[in-house]
Homo-oligomer: A and B are copies of this chain.
Amino acid sequence: MSQAITLGAIADFLGGACIGDPALEIRGIAPIDTAQPHEITFAASKQYEFQLADSRAGAVIINQSSSAPRPAHGVVVANAYLAYAQLSKLFETRPVPAARVHPSAVIHPSAQLAAGVSIGPHCVIEADVIIGEDVQLLAGAFIGCRSTLGASVVIFPNVVIYHDVHIGARSRIHANSTIGSDGFGYAPTPHGWQKIHQLGGVRIGSDVEIGANTAIDRGALEPTELADGVIIDNQVHIAHNVKIGKNTAIAGCVGIAGSTQVGANCTMGGFVAINGHLEIADNVHFNGGSIVTKSIAESGHYSSGTLLQDVKTWRRNAVRFGQLDEWIGRLKRIENSLQQDQ
């Protein structure tokens, strides 16, 4: 169990107003329905406020705008969900590794390591790499030559970063992800595919987070680019020369084909598939599973696909989809014959 923090200290940390006993000791955060007397919870919306009466939570973070009865102990803030997000950092359970270079790591003598770095067991750092202050490289991570990691970057175990990849401060890359692998570029010949060597690297901004088992390819001639604040989930595929704008959020299993440019503040649900060489404007939102085959110039909310049905009904409809143009032709002929009748 985590160390205790007083309710007063939490209110100070969040810049909120303390209700009840500021000396109350809090040892964790929990959902409203399972929180115990030593834990704090949060009521981010009306739906949760209704459950407050039944909660055993020791304290509650609530919205200033809430008209629900105030809890006995808690913190009043402008935005309870944001306050929860901020507070979660204090209860982080992952131990911070000591600042040291593990003796099993293999580090090229030309690599530069700033103060406070932690290099885990079996890491490999190639020539001319530059590692910023307080970077954490967890076990088995690989950093290819000439790549650079900004201050406080965290690279989780077994991540592979190829050569010429540049990652901004405070960015985090989860386990088993790959950054800078070759883009999928080949020229057709009568005898098969002629590989196009991928000479561009990758540029990733600051405060970017990339999930587990995600792959981001290096560019063909110029770098693939992710702007500051981009967040990417697990199992995502970003092809060569894609550019992603600031603060765009990409859910799991998305794939973006080569040279597509995505604007800032976009959101993509899971399994969005975007063709290559497209331009997507700022503030575009795609439903999960959307297949995007044309550029989107206007911000807005887009989707493709069909809805789930029981398989018998679905099959009948899917067969009809395959005849749709034909049936609409028949509908037009009826319209025409009726117009002639009039």
List A residues at the B interface (Cβ < 8 Å).
28-31, 34, 79, 81-82, 84-86, 88-89, 91-95, 102, 104, 106, 120-122, 124, 126-127, 138-140, 142, 144-145, 156-158, 160, 162-164, 172, 174-178, 181-182, 184-187, 189, 192-199, 201, 207, 209, 211-215, 217, 220-222, 228-229, 231, 233-237, 239, 246-247, 249, 251-253, 255, 257, 269-271, 273, 275, 287-294, 296, 300-311, 313-325, 327-328, 330-331, 334-335, 337-338
Contact B92 A102 (CB under 8 A): no
Cα-based distance from A31 to B337 in the complex (angstroms): 58
Cα-based distance from A309 to B91 in the complex (angstroms): 43
**Chain B: minimal CB distance from A308 (Å):** 5
**Chain B: minimal CB distance from A287 (Å):** 6
Contacts of A317 in B (CB 8 A): 321-325
**Chain B: minimal CB distance from A184 (Å):** 4
Contact A294 B308 (CB under 8 A): yes
Q: What 16 additional pairs, Cβ within 8 angstroms, besides A81-B187, A253-B255?
A: A29-B199, A82-B189, A85-B196, A88-B220, A102-B106, A121-B124, A122-B140, A140-B140, A142-B175, A160-B176, A213-B214, A237-B252, A253-B253, A301-B310, A309-B322, A334-B338
Cα-based distance from A334 to B82 in the complex (angstroms): 54
Copies of this chain: 3
**Chain B: minimal CB distance from A319 (Å):** 7
**Chain B: minimal CB distance from A180 (Å):** 9
Given known A-B contacts A142-B140, A157-B124, A222 and B30 have beta carbons under 8 A apart: yes
Contacts of A247 in B (CB 8 A): 192-193
Given known A-B contacts A157-B160, A255-B253, A106 and B121 have beta carbons under 8 A apart: yes
Contact A305 B318 (CB under 8 A): yes
